[in-house]
Each structure stands twice: as structure tokens, then as C-alpha cells.
Structure 1
Amino acid sequence: MAARAGGVRLVLGWVPGPAPDLDPDAFADIRTVVGGPGARVLIEAGHAHRVPARPLRGSGPARRSAAAGPAARHRRPRRRR
């Protein structure tokens, strides 16, 4: 379906293992945020690229799974020690 539509970009989260049904040539661009063994195979083959991201710390229990990448505009001021 992505190959027929053309120009489809894919963002992957955690990929725990190989994804034999995923055709990387069907997508214009593949990015991965979290990685995993399955994503590593795509990255090493040159089909996918990592998006630099880091976990947000101190953002409360409901936001522990959030990540900030280059698109994040607001930065919290650093605490003085």
C-alpha cells in the first residue's frame, strides 16, 4: 500500500525482532526513535536512520515515557548544584 501511494515516510518505535513483512523499499524514508534488534537490522542495512532522542527526566510519573529530540523547542533551565 505504501509503495502504491508513494512518498510515504515511516517512523518506528521499539522493534523487538525482524519484521519480514516490512518492505523498506516501499517507503521514501524510515526513521527509528527507540531502536531495538529489529530496527538495528534496518539501520545497518542502510534502510533506516536513528532520530537522536533522550528521555525527559523529572517530568512527572505520567510523562516518564516521553522523549525529546531535535524538534523540542523548550528547554528546562539547568538546576544549580
Structure 2
Amino acid sequence: MKPGVTCHDVWAAWQAVLEREGYEKHSRIGYSLGLNYHPTWRDHTASLRSGELVEIKPGMCFHILCGMWAGDGTKKGE
């Protein structure tokens, strides 16, 4: 994760690691936060997910949750 890549690029790197082991998780893995954003996750900010083309810029701050939990839609591929 560095300036110049998109939020999708970060998500895709995470997904590539999962896929090598036969897993998939298509939900987001993080979102931006900070003083300039409303205090709710429901407002659109930069989200680390598939298709999100927001470019990472210097000084951006993210809450990253790259976890996998039972029952969250994570599954081992067939």
C-alpha cells in the first residue's frame, strides 16, 4: 500500500494471497478515516475493495481489517 496505487490494487494484492491457498473473500478489507470524513462508515470514503479506483495519496489514513471469520462469506474454493 503506497501512494499512486488504487484502493482496488491493495484489495487485489490481498485477494491474490488468498487465492493461492484456495480461499476467496470479496468484501472490503479496509476504509479511509480521519478528520475530513464524517464519523460514520456509511458515508462514501476510500474503500479497499474490488473495483474501487480511488488513488492512495500521501497522508491518507486507513482502518485495515484483513481478517477472515467463520460465517463472513469467506470460503475455500472447490
Query: Scaled by the length of structure 1, what TM-score is found?
Result: 0.23
Of structures 1 and 2, the one with the larger relative CO (CA 8 A, separation 6+) is 2
Question: What is the TM-score with the length of structure 2 in the denominator?
Answer: 0.24
Structure with greater helix share of residues: 1
- Structure 1 or 2: larger strand share? 1
